[in-house]
Amino acid sequence: MVKAVVGANWGDEGKGKITDMLAREADIIIRFQGGANAGHTIVNDYGKFALHTLPSGVFYGHTTSIIGNGVALNIPILVGEIRSIVDRGVPMPKILVSDRAQVVMPYHVLFDQYEEERLGGKSFGSTKSGIAPFYSDKFAKIGFQVCELFDEEGLRGKLESVCATKNVLLEHLYHKPLLDVDELYQTMMEYKEMIAPYVCDTASFLDEALKEGKNILLEGQLGTLKDPDHGIYPMVTSSSTLAGYGAVGAGIPPYEIRQVVTVCKAYSSAVGAGAFVSEIFGEEADELRRRGGDGGEYGATTGRPRRMGWFDCVASRYGCRLQGTTDVAFTVLDVLGYLDEIPVCVGYEVDGEVTEQFPVTWKLEKAKPVLTRLPGWKCDIRGIRKYEELPENCRKYVEFVEQHIGYPITMISNGPGRDDIIYRESPLKK
Active site residues: 12, 40
Q: Which helix (H) or strand (E) is 21 found in, with range?
A: helix 15-22
Residues making up the binding site for Mg(2+): 12, 39
Residues 42-101 contacting ligand GDP, CB under 6 A: 43
Q: Residues in contact with ligand GDP, total (CB under 6 A)?
A: 24
Give φ, ψ of 263 to 5 degrees: -95, 130
Nearer to ligand GDP, 146 or 264 (CB): 264
Comparing C-alpha atoms, which of 313, 314, 310, 316 is closest to residue 287?
310
Whether 331 and 305 have beta carbons less than 8 Å apart is answered as no
Using CB under 6 A as the binding rule, whether residue 416 contacts ligand GDP is answered as yes
Cβ pair 280, 372 in contact under 8 A: no
Q: How far is the CB of 36 from ligand GDP (least distance, A)?
A: 13
Shortest approach of ligand GDP to residue 69 CB, angstroms? Answer: 21
Q: Establish if 335 lies at the interface with ligand GDP (CB under 6 A).
A: yes
Nearest approach in angstroms of CB 177 to ligand GDP is 34
β-bridge mates for residue 372, sequence order: 344
Q: Which of 246, 293, 309, 343 binds ligand GDP (CB under 6 A)?
A: 293
**Quick check: 14 binds ligand GDP (CB under 6 A)?**
yes
Q: Which of residues 298-327 bind ligand GDP (CB under 6 A)?
A: 300
According to DSSP, the residues that pair with 263 across neighbouring strands are: 7, 329
| Residue closer to ligand GDP (CB basis): 154 or 295 | 295
Name the packing angle between helices 106-119 and 181-195 (round to 10°).
Answer: 120
Shortest reach from residue 244's CB to ligand GDP, in Å: 19
Nearer to ligand GDP, 60 or 114 (CB): 60
- In 3D space, the residue among 198, 242, 3 whose CA is nearest the CA of residue 81 turns out to be 198
Query: Nearest CA to 276 among 189, 197, 369, 351?
Result: 369
By CB under 6 A, residue 34 contacts ligand GDP: no
Q: Kindly report the length of the chain.
A: 430
Shortest separation between residue 122's beta carbon and ligand GDP, angstroms? 26
The answer to the question of residue 16 lying near ligand GDP (CB under 6 A) is yes
What per-residue string of b and e applies to 397-406 under the rule 16 or more CB within 10 Å gives b? bbebbbebbe
Binding positions for ligand GDP, rule: CB under 6 A: 7, 11-17, 38, 40-41, 43, 293-294, 300, 331-332, 334-335, 413-416, 420
